Amino acid sequence: MPQDEVSTLTDTRKAIYAVGCDGRYEIVPSSGWEAEAEATLQAVDELARRAVEAYDRVAAGAAAPLYFHMFDRRMDIDLLSQASGIGRWRLKRHLKAEVFAKLPPKTVARYAEALGLKVDELKRLPAVRPDRA
Amino acid sequence: MLKPDIPFKHQHAAHCESGVMAQLLSHYGLPLSEAMAFGLSGALMFAYIPFVKLGGMPLIAYRRLPKAIIKGLQKNLGIKMELTTFSRPDLGTAALDRLLGKGQIVGLQSSVFWLPYFPEDMRFHFNAHNLIVYAKAGDEYLISDPVFENPVRCLSKDLEKARFVKGMLAPKGLLYYPVALPEEIDFNLIIPKIIKKTARAMLKTPVPIAGVRAIYALAKTIGRLETKDRRYARLFLGHVVRMQEEIGTGGAGFRFIYASFLQEAGDLLDDQSLKDSSLMMTSVGDQWREFALMIAKSIRRKKRQEIDFCGLQKKLESIAVAETQVYRKFTSS
């Protein structure tokens, strides 16, 4: 019965099925399992890595801020395409800074909605570069 | 409409859909543990579908598709559920508020990512998370999320967003609750039938993307990772563990819940063979956990070990053998 106090769960606990001394199954709250946290952190780190990479590309002028916000919201082209209802091919074009700048407000609003951002937030890069040690 | 006369009580569960169904049914007059809800739905499965990708990784699941627990219970127990989806968010919110106003508790499908009460590190884009709303206070919903130890709260606008995200497994505002329960359930008759059917589905699949054959297929893929890029291999293995432990049960990909169900069913029917198979299933679950631990060691960020792909493949194949033995016990009896 793991009680590894993993960071991914913060202060919540999850229910785990465990066999007690009497051989009976019971539900026990657990502060997490290290093996699971390792896998979760790996995935979270990978998402963070993509967001930081995207930030640098946008800062260098190689892509529209949309490119950063997509990864910052833990999405990729497939996910954002599904969430916004805008086809993958069109979306890929919209990631270019010069194409994005000319998009009609209606299209920009669809991206903002899908990403849960205000339109002006979507149009710029946050001042602080996200980083995760 | 069913009228419960008991106050709602939050229950901590390992998995969202089985937890929600157990609570909904118990509240409305059919007391059921989470393990029984899971087992009786017949939703135990294994699937490995390399051509369906989620965030660049293949679909791996230890249970049937989302909603299979709701629908399986409906069919197997003769429950009648009301399931409603909505074309517009405001309609979904209005319908939820109306039901809460009548004192109903309601099951909802939602996206994990958009629920602010989830810890940051657990907020992935998974759109088939289930929870219960049991009341509204001001602009906040009072939520019984079965995978949380205690009830939580969520702002109305946040829940609406989480209910109406688009994309794979989009919830479309799905809400559900039981409207009619059977007068009597003959567990002596249905339990053996459901267990046998579940076992057969695991053993006899036409294509190796589901059932025990899919476990072998995944084992083979893992063995072949040897020739792939190491970073991809590590992400792939981490993904296997994540699907096994997190978006399922805090155990061994539903195998412990199922063992708990077999134990409870064995007691209910006073059937020694079921109790024995519960022990076998527990051992299967233990092996899944050992497998996860082997992977965790090889993907660890600090003090990383060499990955023994061949060893992982063999371990997974031995799990497939062990699972086969449990299911054979059911199909032969």
Q: Do the Cβ atoms of B257 and A17 come within 8 Å?
A: yes
Low-confidence residues of chain A, pLDDT below 70? 132-133
**Which token pair is B96?**
């939820």
Chain B residues whose CB is inside 8 A of the A111 CB are none
Q: Is B122 on the interface with A (CB under 8 A)?
A: yes
Q: Which CATH class is domain B16-180?
A: alpha beta
**% chain B with pLDDT above 90:** 81
Contact B313, B227 (CB under 8 A): no
* Residues A11, A75 within the same domain: no
User: In this predicted structure, what is the pLDDT of residue B4?
Assistant: 76
CATH number at residue A105: 1.10.260
Residue A109 lies in a domain: yes
ipTM of this model? Answer: 0.91
Render pLDDT for B155-191 as a digit per residue (tens, 0 to 9): 999 999 999 999 989 999 999 999 999 999 999 999 9
* Residues A64, A15 within the same domain: no
Reported in sequence order, the residue ranges of chain A that DSSP labels E, i.e. its strands, are: 14-19, 25-30
Residue A61 lies in a domain: yes
Q: B333: pLDDT confidence band, cut at 50, 70 and 90?
A: low
Q: Do the Cβ atoms of A36 and B123 come within 8 Å?
A: no
Residue A37 lies in a domain: no
- The residue of chain A with its CA nearest to that of B296 is A35
Render pLDDT for B79-96 as a digit per residue (tens, 0 to 9): 999 999 999 999 999 999
Q: Is B113 on the interface with A (CB under 8 A)?
A: yes
Q: Give every CB contact of residue B171 below 8 A, 6+ residues apart in sequence.
A: B85, B108, B109, B110, B111, B127, B128, B162, B163, B164, B165
Residue A1 lies in a domain: no
Chain B residues whose CB is inside 8 A of the A45 CB are 301
Q: Do the Cβ atoms of B256 and A83 come within 8 Å?
A: no
Residue A38 lies in a domain: no
Closest in A12, A30, A75 to B119, CB measured: A12
What mean pLDDT comes out for the span B285-314? 88
* Residues A107, A62 within the same domain: yes
Domain range summary for chain B, segments of one domain joined by +: 16-180, 199-332
Q: What whole-number distance in Å separates Cα of residue B89 and Cα of residue B157?
A: 10
Contact B47, B40 (CB under 8 A): no
Q: Inform me whether the pLDDT recorded for B249 exceeds 60.
A: no
> What is the residue range of A87's domain?
47-122
* Residues A52, A116 within the same domain: yes
Q: Do the Cβ atoms of B166 and A34 come within 8 Å?
A: no
Q: Do the Cβ atoms of A36 and B55 come within 8 Å?
A: no
Q: Inform me whether the pLDDT recorded for B248 exceeds 70.
A: no
Render pLDDT for B15-42 as a digit per residue (tens, 0 to 9): 999 999 999 999 999 999 999 999 999 9
Domain count, chain A: 2
